[in-house]
Chain A
Amino acid sequence: MIGLPANSQRVTTDFVFDPARAAPFLTQHSHNGWLGLTYRGHGPDWVELELPWRADLVGEEDRDVLASGPIVSLMDMASGLAIWTRSGKFRPIATLDLRVDYTRAAAPRGSVFGRATCYRTTRSAAFVHGIAHEGDPDDPVARVQGVFMTIAHDPRQVTNG
């Protein structure tokens, strides 16, 4: 499942971003590591991560349901990985706009899976949509739409890329 992304012919080096290898490293530190995000799978333009249930990540004192904050973080990270997977390149990106619709309540004490798909990239922007689900992608708990910007170079400079 490591196959080259569809647009990989534009990659001039041998390096092709592989989320299966990169995700464990990228999710072990800092905020993603604190949340315990783990890699679940990917395709040519999508990546799925798991956010395990944990008592100190709940949103209400008396209900064992993950707070919405960690789900935003889950989808943000899955989105970044989906962008790098589609483009085959690991380049700095910044979230510009992220919208989350909570379509139904999550079940108590369950993991939430975040699957993000990058459906369009330009030189400076990447567009992502995704879902958060509890095991059945056809019955999501949330839907996400996001726009990301590359921050690799100053757009005012003349580039050859």
Chain B
Amino acid sequence: MAEHHTLTPYARALGIVLDRMDGELPVLRVEFTDAVQGRPGALHGGAISGLLETAGYALLRGALSDVGRPVSMKPINLTVQFLASGKPRATFAKARVVKLGRRTANLSIEAWQDDPARPIASAVMNVMVAMPEPAAD
């Protein structure tokens, strides 16, 4: 199970870790450090985006692996909504696969601090999950 949630070098460098499993869904965490700080005393929006994206990839990696599909993930796009400023404390993120298609996956991700019901940011991302087929072009 743990190998499903291998994090990228970027995610590890930023301090993102797997906090726990919420059923099948990995919950990631990043502590408040200088590396994720934007304005003094606030989380950087880019770091929040990095956490959201990392949570999306961690879940998708496991979801592909669970159904025996090759883990190939290329970003198509990402839209982040910033809902509240991130305070200087631990931040969590959890993703949901909205649709896992043959070629693309659509994910919805939320990040929160004290209360999962009060997210500080949310994101939607589309990911290419199949290698391009030469014949299809």
- Spell out A's residues near B (CB within 8 Å): 29-32, 34-35, 55-61, 66-70, 72-74, 76-77, 92, 94-102, 105
B81 contact from A68, A69, A70, A97, Cβ within 8 A:
A97
Chain A positions within 8 Å of B40 at CB level: 30
26 CB < 8 A contacts A-B: A30-B40, A31-B35, A31-B44, A31-B47, A34-B35, A55-B9, A57-B9, A57-B13, A60-B8, A67-B8, A68-B75, A69-B10, A69-B46, A69-B49, A72-B49, A72-B50, A73-B49, A94-B82, A94-B85, A97-B79, A97-B80, A97-B82, A99-B77, A101-B77, A102-B75, A102-B76
Q: Once the chains bind, are B10 and A57 in contact (CB under 8 Å)? A: yes
Chain A positions within 8 Å of B36 at CB level: 30-31
Measured CB to CB, the nearest residue on chain A to B82 is A95
Q: Once the chains bind, are B8 and A98 in contact (CB under 8 Å)? A: no
With contacts A30-B35, A31-B35, A96-B82 taken as known, whether A69 is within 8 angstroms of B44 at the C-beta atoms is no
**Other 12 A-B pairs with CB < 8 A, given A29-B34, A31-B37, A69-B14:** A29-B37, A30-B34, A30-B36, A58-B8, A69-B11, A70-B46, A72-B49, A73-B46, A97-B79, A99-B79, A101-B77, A105-B74
